Amino acid sequence: MEIKSFAQNIVGWYHRHCRDLPWRHTRNPYFIWLSEVILQQTRVAQGTPYYLKFVEQYPTIFDLAAAPEQEVMRLWQGLGYYSRARNLHQTAQYIVQNLNGQFPDSYQKLLQLKGIGPYTAAAVASFAYNEAVAVVDGNVYRVLARVFGIDTDVASTAGKKEFAHLAAQLIDQAQPATYNQAIMEFGAIQCQPVSPDCLLCPLQGQCLANATGRVGELPFKTKKTKVRGRFFNYLVFRQGNSIALQLRTNRDIWQQLYDFYLVETDDLVSDLDQLPLENTTGTITGPSRVYTHILTHQRIQAQFWQVHLADSQAGVLPVGLQLYTPDEIEALPKPVLISAYLKEYF
Ligand code: SF4
């Protein structure tokens, strides 16, 4: 297909169908970066309120850099992939401390920053500075694989190279920012993963997948994500209105978030006697119902027992746990699973 007509078709479609999204009204690299980090692995409907909250609470990169990490994590709560929030905060601090708060102004310089990979660097460089560097995200892979009939695995090194090379050839040099927005939006709205509306597509006549009946097969992916099952048994120590939580510091999910005393087992347990517990004091009630929490690579099933401590048992908490009042707990960053349990039982 002629490269020029591909770009023209995509941009023409974009002008007719694009959504009015808040980060499309700015050239401020800080806001664009915020939106891109928030929207990675997140749908627009879910990410937009978070973007608006962050912009309101931290209107400049200096505000974000100066915020306590716990506050940033709390604001991020519910978006998942918490390492993104930590990287966001640390990168803001780096830019303030080492670059006088000036955002790097080119693709190559952006790539040097922690947590900024080729996709985010290309998005910020093109949307903020109109640099002609192509974005390649899941939407772009899908559009290119279908229109050009490419069946190389998009997850392979060879596939990544091939798609990046093609994307770089296709970008509209005269309007790279608009073109990049357009192809991502086209993938998100028109060329959707399942049952795209090919009949009403402006690329219908040029699309190889459509012509050869391979729309459902492309893009091609060999690797299936393996999902690991995990079983969490939480002991919720409480004394009066206060509840004991701990900061998760291990290299695991939910780092720097707070949860309860946790015993992980190989299977679901039906009785507390099955848990390897050391002399737990207090009156125990439970278990709760089984909560199922799905992450990209993990399926967690969790049960909760409450351990009621008398006033005289103030000093008997396992190491790492600390008692917090309900107001203090509200302000702590917590996994959605923990918030769901607290909401249901407290
Ligand atoms: S014809 Fe169908 S598969 Fe091809 S680009 Fe359009 S929507 Fe996607």
139 alpha carbon – ligand 1 mean position (Å): 12
**Alpha-carbon span 1 to 205, nearest angstrom:** 10
Q: What is the pLDDT of residues 106-126, one digit of tens each?
A: 999 999 998 899 999 999 999
CB of 201 closer than 6 A to ligand 1?
yes
Q: How far apart are the first and last CA of the chain?
A: 61
Greater confidence (226 vs 233) lies with 233
Which of 248-252, 286-290, 316-320 is the least confident region?
316-320
Which of 8-22, 158-172, 280-294, 332-346 is the least confident region?
280-294
Whether domain 228-345 has CATH 3.90.79.10: the reply is yes
pLDDT at 284: 87
Is pLDDT of 2 > 90?
A: no
Q: What is the pLDDT of residues 174-208, one digit of tens each?
A: 999 999 999 999 999 999 999 999 999 999 999 99
CB of 198 closer than 6 A to ligand 1?
yes
36 carries an active-site annotation = yes
161 alpha carbon – ligand 1 mean position (Å): 22
Listed residue (77, 80, 114) closest to 98, CA to CA: 114
Architecture in CATH of 3-211: Orthogonal Bundle (1.10)
254 alpha carbon – ligand 1 mean position (Å): 38
The residue whose CA is least distant from atom 4 of ligand 1 is 207
Per-residue b/e over 178-206, b at no fewer than 16 CB within 10 Å?
bbbbbbbbbbbbbbeeeebeeeebbbeeb
Instruction: Identify the band that residue 290 occupies on the pLDDT scale cut at 50, 70 and 90.
Output: very high
The average pLDDT across 49-54 equals 97
Sketch the domain layout of the chain as residue ranges: 3-211, 228-345
126 alpha carbon – ligand 1 mean position (Å): 25
CB of 203 closer than 6 A to ligand 1?
yes
Strands 258-259 and 261-265: unpaired
CB of 218 closer than 6 A to ligand 1?
no
CB 283 within 8 A of CB 252: no
Q: What is the pLDDT of residues 58-101, one digit of tens each?
A: 999 999 999 999 999 999 999 988 889 999 999 999 999 999 99
Is pLDDT of 279 > 80?
A: no
Angle between helices 176-185 and 3-17 (to 10 degrees): 70
Query: Rounded mean pLDDT of the chain?
Result: 92
**Alpha-carbon span 277 to 263, nearest angstrom:** 8
Listed residue (264, 247, 232) closest to 341, CA to CA: 232
Tokens of 68: 């306590």
CB of 145 closer than 6 A to ligand 1?
no
